[in-house]
Amino acid sequence: MRPSTPFFPGVSRILFGRAPSRHSSPLSQSRSKVDALCLRQLGVLLGDWLPGLIASFKPKEGDNSRERIYTLSVTFWAFLSQVLDPGGSCLRAVCRLKSLMCSHRQELPEEDTAAYCRARARLPIKLLVRASRELARRLCAGSSGSKDPRRIVVMDGTGITLPDTPANREAYAYGPSQKPGCGFPLMKLVGLFDLSTGAWLATVKRGRRIHDSTMAWRLLKHLRAGDILVADRGFCSYAFIAVLKQRGIDVVMRMHHSRQCDLRKGRRLGKSDSVQRWSKPQRIGKSAATVHFKDLPPQLEVRVTRFDVSIKAHRTRQIWLVSTLLDAGQWSSSAIASLYLRRWQVELFFADIKTTMGMDMLRTRSPHMVARELLMHMIAYNVVRLMMARAQPLRELGSSGVLSFKGSRDRLDQWQWCLWSASSARQSRMRLTEMLQSIADDPLLERPHRREPRCKKRRPKNYQLMSKPRHEMSETPHRAQRQIRKKDAA
């Protein structure tokens, strides 16, 4: 009788020419049950496409060669629940998995985060990228209530901080005013969002100090003909607008500060509205280095519009816009102005991502894990947006306001255990419907033109700033202690 090695099937395959029977391993049975349980829960929440996508990814030679509790589906489920949990740690993710297995009377793993962290590092990047893109595609395809006949996308950049580790410092740079050892590495991001659904379509990241307009060229492949791109003045360049126009993509942007604003030129369409021709520049900027200069058209026809802002909450009173929507009958100057004012939604999208979901500072301590954590945050953000889109038809007729992202995220976080602990797929779907109804019954009332001054009411602690590395830093005594010392000296 040949011996079996259930924990090392690769060794048995080499020695005996066949894999051992999985029915002889209790861990195999528990592993398969937990794997099927997590796939079922993910399928109820997101759809049948995700379990099929996870099942299509086979581990590489050497990865998952042993029989582990943290399979690909279990690790994906635990990582997603951790990101959806505000301030969730690896220990909380492991405890959540342990409580799930306990509720279904499965063999409990040890509360050791090392195995879970190693399993997160084995998650394929391609799996996370495909899951993020497919989730965004399905979210945009399911938005039947959009009033926009064409897809309107918005683009903007931001920055997030990373843990100050040697590996992150080597791949990502400090801020412009930070000394080595006194700050945190900074990751630059440029995100592309769907304006009607809020779906996070794509993003590009860089570790070095670089302008957003240079990074934006890598997002062109995610745009399609017929889209309308809304962006601020940092992306307004001749080369960028010309390439987008060649691909059938219209733009609405704010005029770059280096261009002269003059409505006396060109063909007049109305008050403060004209069509002008821009000439090809003598040389191309560094941000458009990927575009061949000779392929650009010699002239570019654009529409220049000026409108006044009478809203008290706005600091700018006069805005100059550049667009390629030349048909004045279909797009009036007021419609273009209203479309650009919706660009502010991208700032709210980033506020939801960085503040509500806690992505302002990532937690992983190596660049390859930073990439995985960023992709999982994209997936979790789109999951919340998907729940909001599903809850929208459940609202009462005539109800005002919009659904709150934070309220939806909080409900999803509180209903996690109720969803995961369901004993069957039918019970999970019933509980999911109850959660969506709870999201739909709590709208966020719109308060247009509300003034929010950029100030802080809560006073920070009076601590000195870290101006030197930790081993060179000397702490200055608190002013109360200095006063006591002065009295003692007197």
Lookup result for tokens 């308060």:
447
pLDDT digit string, tens, across residues 72-122: 999 999 999 999 987 789 999 998 888 888 877 777 777 789 999 999 999
Convert 186-213 to b/e letters by CB count within 10 Å (16 or more is b). Answer: bbbbbbbbbbbbbbbbbbbbbbeeebbb
State how far the Cα of 415 lies from the Cα of 435, in Å rounded to an integer: 7
Same-domain status, 31 and 176? no
Spatial separation of the C-alpha atoms in residues 316 and 309, rounded to whole Å: 7
pTM of the complete model beyond 0.85? yes
- Report the alpha-carbon distance of residue 221 to residue 204 in Å, rounded: 12
Check whether residue 180 and residue 40 sit in a common domain: no
Residue 264 shares a structural domain with residue 213: yes
Asked if 35 and 112 touch (Cβ cutoff 8 Å), the reply is no
Check residues 1 and 378 and name the one with the higher pLDDT: 378
Residue 419 lies in a domain: no
Domain count, the chain: 2
- Specify the 3-state DSSP secondary structure of 385: helix
Residues 318 and 170 in one domain: yes
The number of residues making up the chain comes to 490
> Alpha carbon of 375 to those of 23, 371, 424: distances in Å?
36, 6, 30
Q: Where does 85-150 have alpha helices with state H? A: 90-103, 113-121, 125-141
Q: What is the pLDDT of residue 160?
A: 94
Residues ≥6 apart with Cβ < 8 Å to 394: 436, 437, 440
For residue 377, tell me if it sits in a domain.
Answer: no
- Alpha-carbon distances, residue 92 vs 85, 110, 203, 343 (angstroms): 9, 13, 28, 37
H or E element, residue 341: helix 333-341
- What phi-psi label fits residue 49: left (phi over 0), alpha (psi between -120 and 50 degrees) or beta? alpha
The mean-pLDDT minimum among 125-139, 340-354, 431-445, 474-488 falls in 474-488
Higher pLDDT, 324 or 208: 324
Looking at residue 24, its pLDDT comes to 44
Q: Which residues pair with 202 in a beta bridge?
A: 192
Chain-centroid distance of CA 430 in Å reads 29
Q: Which amino acid is at 205?
A: K
Structural domain for 338, as ranges:
127-356
pLDDT digits (tens, 9 = 90+) for 130-157: 999 999 999 998 765 567 789 999 999 9
| Distance from chain centroid for Cα 459 | 30
The pLDDT value recorded for residue 409 is: 94
Buried residues in 367-378 as b, exposed as e (16+ CB within 10 A): bebbbbbbbbbb
Q: Look at residue 4 in the predicted model and tell me its pLDDT.
A: 44
Q: Is the pLDDT of residue 285 over 60?
A: yes
Q: 91 and 170: one domain?
A: no
Q: Supply the DSSP symbol for 312.
A: T
Q: Which residues contact 469 (CB under 8 A, 6 or more apart)?
A: 179, 180, 181, 182
Report the percentage of the chain scoring pLDDT > 90.
50
Q: Give just the sign of the alpha carbon dihedral 19, 21, 25, 28.
A: positive
Cα 474 versus chain centre, distance: 39
The pLDDT value given to residue 487: 63
pLDDT in tens, 7-57: 444 433 333 344 444 444 555 666 788 888 888 889 989 998 998 899 888
Kindly provide the b/e burial profile for residues 234-264, where b requires at least 16 CB atoms within 10 angstroms of the residue's own CB.
Answer: bbbbbbbbbbbbeeebbbbbbbbeeeeeeee
Question: Do 221 and 267 share a structural domain?
Answer: yes
Q: Which of 315, 336, 356 represents a domain boundary (last residue)?
A: 356
Answer whether residue 312 is part of any domain: yes
Is 385 a domain residue? no
Q: Which tokens go with 376?
A: 């999982």
Q: Are residues 218 and 109 in the same domain?
A: no
* pLDDT at 470 (0 to 100): 81
Q: Give the pLDDT confidence score for residue 18 in this predicted structure.
A: 40
The DSSP string of 254-293 is EPPTTS---TTSSEEEETTEEEEEEEPPSS--GGGTTS-G
Share of the chain above pLDDT 70, in %: 85
Q: Give 252's DSSP letter.
A: E
Residues 213 and 198 in one domain: yes
Helix (H, G, I), strand (E, B) or coil at 232: coil
Q: Are residues 151 and 281 in the same domain?
A: yes
What is the C-alpha to C-alpha distance for residues 242 and 277, in angstroms, rounded to an integer? 12
Helices (H), 143-294: 166-171, 212-215, 238-246
pLDDT in tens, 187-245: 999 999 999 999 999 999 988 778 899 999 999 999 999 999 999 999 999 999 999 99
The answer to whether residue 390 sits within a structural domain is no
Q: pLDDT grade, residue 161 (50/70/90)?
A: very high
Q: What is the mean pLDDT of residues 256-270?
A: 86
Query: Would you state the pLDDT for residue 11?
Result: 37
Whole-number CA gyration radius for the chain: 27
Would 338 be classed as within a structural domain?
yes
Q: What is the CATH number of the domain that holds 183?
A: 3.90.350.10
Mean pLDDT of 401-411: 91
Q: What are phi and psi of 134, to 5 degrees?
A: -65, -40
On whether both 112 and 234 belong to a single domain, the answer is no
Q: What pLDDT is stored for residue 21 in this prediction?
A: 45
Mean residue pLDDT of the chain comes to 84
pLDDT surpassing 70 at residue 418: yes
Per the CB < 8 A criterion, the answer to whether 188 and 223 are in contact is: no
Domain boundary residue, one of 125, 148, 174: 125
Whole-number pLDDT of residue 112:
81
Is residue 394 assigned to a domain? Answer: no
Single residue among 341, 356, 371 that ends a domain in this structure: 356
pLDDT for the residue 290 = 67
For residues 167 and 366, the answer to whether their CB atoms sit within 8 Å is: yes
Residues 93, 207 within the same domain: no
Beta carbons within 10 angstroms of residue 436's beta carbon: 22
Residues 6 or more apart in contact with residue 445 via CB below 8 angstroms: 400, 401
Spatial separation of the C-alpha atoms in residues 321 and 55, rounded to whole Å: 48
**Least-confidence region, from 67-71, 156-160, 161-165, 228-232:** 67-71
User: What pLDDT, on a 0 to 100 scale, did the predictor assign at position 33?
Assistant: 81
User: What is the Cα–Cα distance from 342 to 230, expressed in whole angstroms?
Assistant: 9
Within-domain flag for 471: no
Q: What is the pLDDT of residue 148?
A: 73
Answer yes or no: do 345 and 196 share one domain. Answer: yes
